[in-house]
Structure 1
Amino acid sequence: MIPSIPQSRRFRITYNAYVVLFFLYLAAPLVVVGTFAFNDSLFPSLPWNGGTLDWFLGEQGPKLGLFHDEELLESVGISLVVATFTTVLALALACCNAFLFERESFPGKNLLYILMLMPLVIPGVILGVSILVFSSSIANWFELQLGWDLEFLLPGTTLVIIGQFAFISTICTLIVSARLRKFDQSLEEAALNLGASKLEAIYTVTLPYLKPALIGAGIVSFLMSFENFNTTLMLVGSDAPLTIAMFDRLREGATPVLNAVSLMLMLVSSVLAIISLIVQGSKR
């Protein structure tokens, strides 16, 4: 709706009602999931049997809480490791890609840019299967021909990081490139005129300017990695990240502890999103 164009009262009421219903549609499932994390029942469904914190703090079954569930806590730790490594690698490559595509001109640049974007349009399951088949083929060849056991190319944590890095790095590149495109290169030239080397100019002038984009890209990368399921499912080994552990629990029979996990994820995601907005707003 364009504010400068006069609108009828009926249109404004309809428009506002649509906006309210849209956000209710988005928020209702989250509210329901969060609410049943406090239901004093063995099942995450009605009827409501009263409030409880057992699904967070319970020390023994059948109401073993999230903070005492060693299996879930271990999967959270694995997800943190995967998300951290994926984020660091994705940000490093994103910076290199941003300078490459925004500052350099070379034959095949457009083709290379299109190839970089391809992981975004490939379904996560297909991407995971492709990486699994490719890496397993390489590992099997080295084992048969040279007798080398390349375990990092077999399903496991390392392969999960590689698989997530394949598409998350593209998203980070787009975020950093958008910020770098607005940078005034005369600032770097001024630093060079004052005696700084090219790397010193980038480190002291350009990177501070890119800081909001790097923080935003890092938060997006961390959350996408932590909550990724499709690609991770194809590449996971015996050490299951949180999303896979939750999926396995759902197949066995869901309990409100999964609602507790979901609520904690929503809270952490909200906090990180707020931090990203604050950083973006303060550095403009």
Structure 2
Amino acid sequence: MIPTIKQPPLLRAAYGAYVALFFVYLALPLTVVAVFAFNDSQFPSLPWDGFTWAWFFGDARPMIGVFHERPILRAVGTSGFVALFVALMSVAVGTSNAFLFNRYSFRGKGLLYVLMLLPLVIPGIVLGISILVFSSTVANTAWDVGNIDIQALRPGLFLVILGQFSFIATIATLVVSARLQKFDRTLEEAALNLGADRLTAVRTITIPFLAPAMIGAVVVAFLMSFENFNTTLMLVGS
């Protein structure tokens, strides 16, 4: 609904009810899981047997806390490392892509833009398998032809980062591009007229303007990488 247009009370009530139900639908499962994480029971279900911190800090079976599960802590640490690396790479490349598609005109620009968007419409498991097949083919060819073992192209951490970066960078590009399209280029021109070079104008005027979008892109990229499963499963190896 448009706030400036007066709406019938019934329509406003229906819209408010819809929004409330929508957020309840999103939040209720998470709330239930969060509540039962403190249930003094071996199973996350009713009845409620009392409040406990054992599922977080317990050190004895059968209720060993998550902070005493070394495999889980290592997995969270690895996921955080990958997510941070992917987020920083994606925003750096995404910002460059935003300048490329917003500031320059060249032959094949439309095709290149479509190719950039393709990873978003390809299922994650298909994307992971495709990257795995391609990288394994290159690695095997290098070994067969030149007896060169390229471990980075084998299933592992590097390939996971590469696979996640292939589609998360596109999202970062779209986020930064949306902000860059609102930028008034006369500000840069004024800086150039006052004696600044192109790099200084971009660094002191354009980048600060893009900072909110870049920070938002880092957060989005980090969360998408941290929760990614399909692509990671295909590329992580055993």
C-alpha distance in 1 between matches for 2:178 and 2:20: 32
* Structure 1 SS opposite 2:37: helix
Report the CA distance between 1:25 and its aligned residue: 1.4
Q: Which residue of the partner structure matches residue 7 of structure 1?
A: 8
For residues 176-200 of structure 1, the C-alpha deviation after alignment (integer angstroms, 9 at most, x for no partner) is 0111111111111122122222111
For this pair of structures, how many residues does the alignment match? Answer: 237
Aligned in 2, Cα 1:98/1:13: closer, same or farther, shift over 3 Å? closer
For structure 1, list consecutive stretches of 5 or more residues without a partner in the other structure: 239-284
Q: Give every structure 1 segment of 4 or more consecutive aligned residues whose post-TM-superposition deviation is greater than 4 Å.
A: none
Report the CA distance between 1:230 and its aligned residue: 1.2
* Structure 2 SS opposite 1:170: helix
For residues 41-62 of structure 1, the C-alpha deviation after alignment (integer angstroms, 9 at most, x for no partner) is 2222222221111111112332
C-alpha distance in 1 between matches for 2:187 and 2:162: 36
Report the CA distance between 1:21 and its aligned residue: 2.2
Aligned in 2, Cα 1:54/1:147: closer, same or farther, shift over 3 Å? same
Aligned in 2, Cα 1:192/1:141: closer, same or farther, shift over 3 Å? same
Report the CA distance between 1:6 and its aligned residue: 4.0
Counterpart residue type for residue 192 of structure 1? L
* Structure 1 SS opposite 2:60: coil
Q: TM-score by structure 2 length?
A: 0.94
* Structure 2 SS opposite 1:38: coil
Higher relative contact order (CA 8 A, sep 6+): 1
* Structure 1 SS opposite 2:113: helix
Counterpart residue type for residue 179 of structure 2? R
Q: Which residue of the partner structure matches residue 78 of structure 2?
A: 78
Q: Which residue of the partner structure matches residue 139 of structure 2?
A: 139
For residues 216-250 of structure 1, the C-alpha deviation after alignment (integer angstroms, 9 at most, x for no partner) is 00000001001111111111134xxxxxxxxxxxx
Identity of aligned residues (%): 60
> Is 1:202 the equivalent of 2:197?
no
Counterpart residue type for residue 184 of structure 2? D
C-alpha distance in 2 between matches for 1:56 and 1:98: 43
* Structure 1 SS opposite 2:205: helix
C-alpha distance in 2 between matches for 1:13 and 1:98: 41
For structure 2, list consecutive stretches of 5 or more residues without a partner in the other structure: none
Report the CA distance between 1:66 and its aligned residue: 1.4
Q: TM-score by structure 1 length?
A: 0.80
Give me the CA root mean square deviation.
Answer: 1.4
* Structure 1 SS opposite 2:110: helix
C-alpha distance in 2 between matches for 1:19 and 1:98: 33
Q: Which residue of the partner structure matches residue 48 of structure 2?
A: 48
For residues 63-100 of structure 1, the C-alpha deviation after alignment (integer angstroms, 9 at most, x for no partner) is 11111211111001101110111011101111110110
For residues 85-139 of structure 1, the C-alpha deviation after alignment (integer angstroms, 9 at most, x for no partner) is 1011101111110110000000111111011000111111111110011111111
Counterpart residue type for residue 7 of structure 1? P
C-alpha distance in 2 between matches for 1:224 and 1:188: 33
